[in-house]
């Protein structure tokens, strides 16, 4: 939110209680507390009618400090609020607090932060403080920015990847993928100087990333208190890992979820016959398929969500699910947290008080999505249990996954939540509690196979994968914007991400579909889904079937490698799809701005083709790079710009990397180093024996997958024949 009219003046009606003069420091209670008054003190009389701003700083974890800034301490503590570790180890002196290598220090210049003695940022004291506006009070913090410093993250954002110069508000909306708004608002940004800032609020946090005051990253919240964390490290990886350490690491999705998902699409006509014909045709085309997804109209119109199959189209749903399982597939169905008035569940939920209410005690209803729909109040434990029971019935029937759509656009006016939560905070938090509720059912019923396919999210939502981008459009600009959203979300702690291949809205051209297939099948999770038309490849042309089969099989062969990446995400919080700067840092100025290419895990660079003329372009950082498609090699740093057919794109292996593949029933390693080009079949794994043909690698991480089961071993490996 903007409070200033230029740099020198405040907007009309705005009063600022700034940190003008720090007059006291307290080091009791395991924290550093700073007291600053809004006007300078020249005599005792100046202590009267002089508002005081208080800043408390404590350690949360290694290299993570929490900062609480408040004006009136007696203001109501807002809930819900993110839950963090209670405290970390800290060294406190008369003017500083240190968590491992991160230091907050007070001096005559005010409050500053440094890491291993290197300055990170500091408070611009005379701009920061409590703002009284015609619309109420806000606490705003202005942190200084350095020359050339760039900012990233803030959730899944489809605007420019580098956030400098942008105003960004944390407010979940059913917004699509082509605006400044988002389904997933995460009040966490990362600086190219290797620190991050997490604002501890589910509310409408507003960021001005060098847009209000060009030399500051400013953020503000309504009310009398602002809390945030500073997270520092040696690399951007450290920052993402630190963020997920305190907000939750992503769960490990089941291995089958990494395969290709096929959707019935949204408003298309489909029945058991249609679904089975799609599955059979995919097999005929040689396209490996893992999941069959049933979108909204598996339920009868005007009755969403009642969790009952439309008997006109699906007379024997349990039988259909069994047939799909017999074909080796898993199943997914669409749900949302809204109950239409015509639903069989409406009367039951209304009588038991399970829906969000107005302040007068009546049920909040609207006609925006479903006629007379109500919203399940997950702050009521009984309502959450009731909702879970309905999902358990579907799980017992044979449903393997729930697509948790919606959860945005939650009302804030004239509403009362069961547990008394602040409506403004519940707006974003609702997505978290909704997905947490559904994921809990999945964990209970499916164990290690637990997964949801979610659209909305907020702080901590990365714990419940997988998330998909939402409603993109069948255009090249939308495809590129979708990638920008995924890269921003990755830097917001989300390990697993998907998007609608070919675009959700409109019907894509055969050309764009084939380009998007390559991008989609080189993402952590891959789904063919559309709105008013099917996304089956034969709907475009015969070549689309062959392209889809090619990249689906390529991804299938990469599964041992992707599983390693997934475990790293689960264990350390590092996402599978990675912006280039996550792997290579920002010392190379080019890397800071790259948003049309990415790393798939630590070793594979992918650059989707975004042009109708087939020209693909990417930047290769320093080192040797080997094409996974044709085995050619390039020496970086350099730009690659050439024409690619539909079976190719810039797809390179990083030097000194070992990539496990699966091929024709065998495991296989490929190694890439500075002295050799691609060495095909360096190590073949078959019948319990590994033969290493070249290399010199000390050990091998062997992952084998059979059906739903995966195993992992670390084994020593020598040139020649090795018994596994």
pLDDT, residue 118, reads: 98
Taken in order 52, 58, 63, 69, is the CA torsion positive or negative?
negative
For residue 575, which of 659, 490, 498 has the smallest C-alpha distance? 490
What is the arithmetic mean of pLDDT over 195-205? 98
Q: In which residue ranges of the chain is CATH 2.60.40.1760 found?
A: 4-149+192-247
Residue 408 among the catalytic residues:
yes
**What are the tens digits of pLDDT across the range 258-305?**
999 999 999 999 999 999 999 999 999 999 999 999 999 999 999 999
Q: Return the closest-CA partner of residue 520 out of 503, 538, 495.
A: 503
User: Where, residue-wise, is CATH 2.60.40.1180 in the chain?
Assistant: 579-653
Q: What is the pLDDT of residues 308-331, one digit of tens each?
A: 999 999 999 999 999 999 999 999
Distance CA 291, CA 296 (A): 16
Q: Which residue of the set 141, 149, 405, 655 is catalytic? A: 405
Q: Tell me: the pLDDT tens digits for 565-594?
A: 999 999 999 999 999 999 999 999 999 999
State how far Cα 386 lies from the chain centre: 28
**495 touches 574 (CB < 8 A):** yes
Please identify which of the residues 408, 505, 556, 655 carries the catalytic annotation. Answer: 408
pLDDT, tens only, 254-264: 999 999 999 99
Every domain of the chain with CATH number 3.20.20.80 lies at 255-335+381-409+419-571
Per-chain mean pLDDT for the chain: 92
- Picking from 517, 524, 514, the residue whose alpha carbon sits closest to that of residue 574 is 524
Beta pairing partners, 260: 526
Summarised one tens digit per residue, pLDDT across range 435-464 is 999 999 999 999 999 999 999 999 999 999
Residues 6+ apart with CB under 8 A from 612: 476, 511, 512
CATH of domain 255-335+381-409+419-571: 3.20.20.80
- Over residues 124-168, the pLDDT tens digits come to 999 999 999 999 999 999 999 999 999 999 999 999 999 999 999
DSSP output for 245-299:
HHH-PPP---GGGGSEEEE--SSS---HHHHHHHHHHHHHTT----EEEE-GGGS
**Which residue in 545, 458, 528, 544 sits closest to 295, CA to CA?**
528
The token pair at 123 is 């408070």
The span from the CA of 18 to the CA of 36, in Å, is 8
Residues with Cβ < 8 Å from 308, sequence gap 6 or more? 299, 300, 344
Tell me the pTM: 0.92
CA 379 to chain centre: 24
Q: What is the DSSP string of 383-425?
A: HHHHHHHHHHHHHHHT--EEEE----S---SS-B-TT---HHH
CATH of 579-653, one of 3.30.950.10, 2.60.40.1250, 3.30.420.40, 2.60.40.1180: 2.60.40.1180
Q: Give the whole-number percent of the chain exceeding pLDDT 90.
A: 88
Dihedral over Cα of 349, 351, 354, 358: its sign: positive
Tokens of 160: 């420019």
Q: Is there a catalytic annotation at residue 699?
A: no
pLDDT on residue 659: 85
Active site residue 405: yes
Given the residues 149, 471, 511, 583, the one annotated as active site:
471
What is the number of residues in the chain?
A: 724
The confidence band for 219, taking pLDDT boundaries of 50, 70 and 90, is very high
- For CA atoms 373, 379, 385, 391, give the dihedral sign: positive
Looking at domain 4-149+192-247, its CATH class is mainly beta
């Amino acid at each position: 939110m903007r409070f200033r009219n230029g740099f020198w003046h405040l907007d009309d009606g705005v009063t600022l209680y700034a940190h003008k003069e720090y007059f006291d420091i307290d080091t009791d209670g395991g924290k550093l507390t700073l007291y600053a008054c809004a006007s300078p003190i020249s005599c005792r009389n100046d202590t009267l009618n002089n508002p005081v701003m208080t800043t408390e700083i404590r350690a949360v974890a290694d290299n993570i400090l929490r900062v609480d800034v408040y004006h009136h301490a007696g203001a109501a503590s807002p809930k819900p609020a993110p839950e963090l570790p209670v405290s970390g180890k800290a060294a406190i002196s008369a003017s500083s607090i240190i968590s491992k290598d991160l230091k907050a220090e007070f001096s005559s210049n005010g409050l500053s932060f440094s890491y291993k003695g290197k300055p990170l940022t500091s408070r611009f004291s005379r701009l920061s403080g409590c703002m009284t506006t015609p619309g109420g009070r806000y606490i705003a913090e202005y942190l200084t920015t350095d020359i050339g410093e760039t900012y990233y993250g803030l959730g899944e954002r489809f605007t420019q990847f580098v956030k400098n110069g942008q105003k960004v508000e944390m407010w979940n909306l059913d917004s699509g993928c082509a605006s400044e708004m988002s389904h997933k608002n995460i009040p966490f940004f990362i600086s190219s100087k290797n620190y991050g800032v997490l604002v501890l609020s589910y509310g409408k946090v507003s960021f001005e990333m060098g847009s209000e005051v060009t030399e500051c990253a400013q953020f503000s919240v309504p009310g009398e208190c602002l809390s945030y964390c500073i997270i520092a490290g040696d690399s951007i990886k450290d920052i993402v890992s630190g963020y997920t350490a305190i907000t939750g690491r992503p769960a490990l999705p089941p291995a089958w979820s990494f395969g290709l998902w096929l959707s019935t699409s949204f408003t298309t006509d489909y029945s058991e016959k249609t679904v089975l014909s799609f599955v059979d045709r995919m097999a005929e085309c040689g396209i490996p398929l893992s999941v069959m997804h049933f979108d909204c109209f598996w339920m009868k119109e005007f009755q969403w969500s009642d969790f009952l199959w439309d008997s006109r189209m699906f007379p024997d749903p349990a039988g259909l699910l069994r047939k799909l399982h017999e074909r080796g597939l898993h199943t997914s169905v669409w749900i949302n947290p809204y109950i239409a008035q015509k639903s069989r569940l409406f009367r039951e939920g209304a009588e038991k008080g399970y829906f969000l209410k107005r302040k007068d005690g009546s049920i909040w209803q609207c006609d925006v999505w479903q006629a007379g729909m109500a919203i399940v109040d997950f702050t009521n434990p009984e309502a959450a249990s009731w909702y879970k029971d309905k999902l358990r019935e579907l799980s017992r029937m044979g449903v393997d996954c729930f697509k948790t759509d919606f959860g945005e656009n939650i009302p804030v006016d004239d509403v009362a939540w069961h547990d008394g939560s602040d409506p403004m905070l519940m707006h974003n938090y609702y997505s978290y509690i909704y997905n947490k509720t559904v994921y809990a059912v999945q964990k209970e019923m499916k164990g290690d196979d637990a997964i949801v396919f979610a659209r909305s999210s907020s702080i901590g939502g990365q714990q419940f994968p997988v998330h998909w981008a939402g409603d993109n459009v069948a255009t090249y600009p939308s495809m590129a914007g979708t990638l920008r959203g995924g890269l921003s979300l990755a830097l917001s702690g989300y390990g697993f991400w998907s998007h609608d291949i070919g675009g959700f809205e409109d019907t894509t051209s055969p050309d764009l579909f084939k380009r998007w297939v390559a991008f989609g099948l080189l993402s952590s999770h891959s789904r063919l889904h559309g709105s008013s038309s099917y996304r089956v490849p034969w709907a475009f042309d015969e070549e689309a079937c062959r392209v889809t089969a090619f990249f689906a099989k390529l991804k299938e062969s990469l599964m041992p490698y992707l599983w390693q990446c997934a475990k790293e995400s689960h264990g350390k919080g590092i996402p599978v799809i990675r912006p280039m700067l996550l792997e290579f840092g920002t010392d190379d100025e080019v890397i800071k701005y790259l948003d049309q290419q990415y790393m798939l895990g630590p070793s594979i660079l992918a650059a989707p083709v975004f042009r109708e003329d087939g020209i693909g372009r990417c930047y290769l950082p320093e080192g040797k790079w080997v094409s996974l498609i044709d085995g050619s090699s390039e020496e970086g740093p350099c730009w690659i710009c050439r024409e690619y057919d539909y079976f190719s794109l810039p797809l390179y292996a990083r030097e000194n990397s070992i990539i496990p593949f699966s091929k024709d029933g065998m495991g296989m390693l490929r190694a890439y180093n500075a002295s050799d080009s691609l060495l095909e079949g360096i190590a073949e794994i078959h019948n319990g024996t590994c033969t290493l043909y070249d290399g010199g690698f000390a050990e091998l991480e062997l992952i084998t997958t059979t059906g739903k089961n995966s195993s992992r071993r670390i084994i020593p490996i020598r040139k020649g024949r090795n018994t596994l």
